[in-house]
């Protein structure tokens, strides 16, 4: 399929376009022998885009993000991430691709016995960064998410909102090419939620492709990004229309 030209820009409309960073074609996902929880998902996310992901509880947001993070395989269809057909990627290849993706899990998945600092430092240490640079970057970021006082506290002793901010800091510390965040502001007050959103927007301006699952109507209204909406096992895309404040389905 040829790419469409719009206002002088080439739009990715095919999962194989060079501009497509996450592509899915006729994808279904099921757990074990159960019925599909998502069916016939077709999706092309362009490099550098920013999307919300919405849908009722149980609609499949975490399942879709798991596929994007390469921890859940599609039961049918084609999934391409960074242009690679994931069906043909071996374990080592998947591990390398995952290093290019930052993820904030809905249940945080921090290493409980480690401090906030060590959790956030982990992705940098895995890449072999020099310890002085690790210390500088991690300290700055934890300060920015207002966790300076908790930097040496074990993750198991932190509150839900504090754990969430550590999980976010760990996901973004490496400036990933893709950031997938599952309800990243679900446990914090609206001031901190706004601050975290600013962090995601800044990262996006630096080139990161962002997908944020949320139940927050306020975030969706306040930040006019397109929305991937899951309903009846399928996906619809809504784009905000700035003129009258309503959304329209593509
Ligand atoms: N590991 C699993 N085994 C079996 N079924 C699962 C598993 N994970 C999810 N499901 C099912 O898949 C469906 C979608 O779940 P998912 O967690 O993706 O929804 P969600 O949109 O993220 O919900 P929420 O907003 O509550 O987080 C649900 O019916 C759920 O029961
Ligand atoms: Mg979920």
Cα–Cα dist 114/193, whole Å: 25
Residue ranges lining ligand 1, Cβ < 6 Å = 31, 37, 55, 57-63, 106
Indicate which residue's Cα is closest to atom 25 of ligand 1: 57
Question: What burial letters (b/e) apply to 17-30, b meaning 16+ CB within 10 Å?
Answer: bebbbbbbbebbbe
Counting the structural domains of the chain, the total is 1
Q: What is the mean pLDDT of the chain?
A: 91
Is 37 a domain residue?
A: no
Q: What is the pLDDT of residue 4?
A: 47
Cα–Cα dist 43/26, whole Å: 9
Is 220 a domain residue?
A: no
Confidence band for 177, pLDDT divided at 50, 70 and 90: very high
Indicate which residue's Cα is closest to atom 27 of ligand 1: 57
- Domain, as residue range, for 124: 110-174
Is 159 a domain residue?
A: yes
Indicate which residue's Cα is closest to atom 5 of ligand 1: 31
Closest to 109 in 3D by CA, of 45, 52, 65, 46: 65
Indicate which residue's Cα is closest to atom 10 of ligand 1: 31
Is 132 a domain residue?
A: yes
Cα–Cα dist 161/104, whole Å: 13
Distance, CA of 220 to chain centre = 15
Is 164 a domain residue?
A: yes
pLDDT tens column, 45-103: 999 999 999 999 999 999 999 999 999 999 999 999 999 999 999 999 999 999 999 99
Per-residue tokens: 161: 């909102």
Contacts of 250 (CB under 8 A, 6+ apart): 236, 237, 238, 239
Ligand 1 pocket, mutate which of 61, 181, 217 (most atoms under 8 A from CB): 61
Is 170 a domain residue?
A: yes
Per-residue tokens: 215: 């139940």
Average pLDDT over residues 116-131: 96
Per-residue tokens: 164: 């969430």
**Percentage of the chain modeled with pLDDT above 70:** 91
Ligand 1 atom nearest residue 65's Cα: 18
DSSP H stretches of helix in 99-223: 116-126, 131-144, 160-172, 190-205, 217-222
Is 66 a domain residue?
A: no
pTM, entire model: 0.92
Is 145 a domain residue?
A: yes
């Amino acid at each position: 399929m040829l790419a469409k030209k719009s206002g002088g820009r080439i739009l990715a409309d095919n999962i194989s376009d060079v501009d497509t960073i996450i592509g899915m074609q006729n994808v279904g996902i099921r757990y074990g022998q159960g019925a599909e929880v998502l069916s016939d998902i077709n999706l092309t996310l362009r490099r550098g885009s920013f999307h919300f992901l919405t849908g009722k509880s149980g609609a499949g947001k975490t399942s879709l993000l798991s596929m994007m993070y390469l921890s859940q395989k599609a039961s049918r269809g084609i999934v391409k991430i960074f242009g690679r057909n994931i069906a043909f990627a071996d374990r080592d290849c998947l591990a390398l691709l995952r290093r290019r993706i930052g993820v904030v899990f809905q249940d945080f998945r921090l290493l409980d016995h480690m401090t906030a600092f060590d959790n956030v430092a982990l992705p940098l240490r895995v890449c072999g960064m020099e310890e002085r640079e690790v210390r500088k970057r991690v300290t700055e970021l934890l300060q920015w998410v207002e966790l300076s006082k908790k930097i040496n506290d074990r993750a198991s002793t932190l509150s839900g909102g504090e754990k969430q901010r550590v999980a976010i800091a760990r996901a973004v510390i490496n400036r990933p090419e893709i950031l997938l965040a599952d309800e990243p502001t679900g446990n914090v007050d609206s001031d901190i939620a706004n601050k975290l959103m600013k962090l995601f927007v800044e990262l996006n301006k630096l080139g990161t492709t962002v997908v944020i699952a949320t139940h927050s109507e306020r975030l969706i209204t306040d930040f006019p990004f397109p929305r991937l909406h899951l309903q009846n096992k399928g996906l619809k895309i809504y784009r905000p229309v700035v003129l009258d404040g309503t959304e329209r389905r593509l």
